[in-house]
Amino acid sequence: MSDEPRFSAGNFLLGLFTSLFVVSIANLMAAAFAAQSGVRLLILLGGVLPGAVIAFLAWRAKKDSGFHLGVIIGACIVALIGGICGTALVFS
């Protein structure tokens, strides 16, 4: 028998949607606090850091199910969108 881990699409989707929800809320709070400060670099980082931190933590977990892959992809999506919005706020 093979000892290879099995990928689960259900776990992947659960990780993806959980990550999108949780990281979006964290991103919203971080961006709100950063926007209040008025520091341009902090505004940009406030949009990127929550997603990047969650993606890094999920990557370091190194589980072999689909859940952590969903978390990584969801966090990267939120980090990308947060970075775009943060950049738009900085340069507007």
Tens digit of each residue's pLDDT (9 = 90 or more) over 19-59: 999 988 988 888 888 878 878 888 778 878 888 888 888 88
Closest CA to 20 of 46, 61, 43, 51: 51
> How far, in Å, CA of 75 to CA of 52, rounded?
7
Given this model, what pLDDT does residue 18 score? 92
Is 78 within 8 Å of 51 (Cβ atoms)? yes
Query: What is the average pLDDT score of the chain?
Result: 83
Over residues 5-24, mean pLDDT = 87
pLDDT at 1 exceeding the cut of 60: no
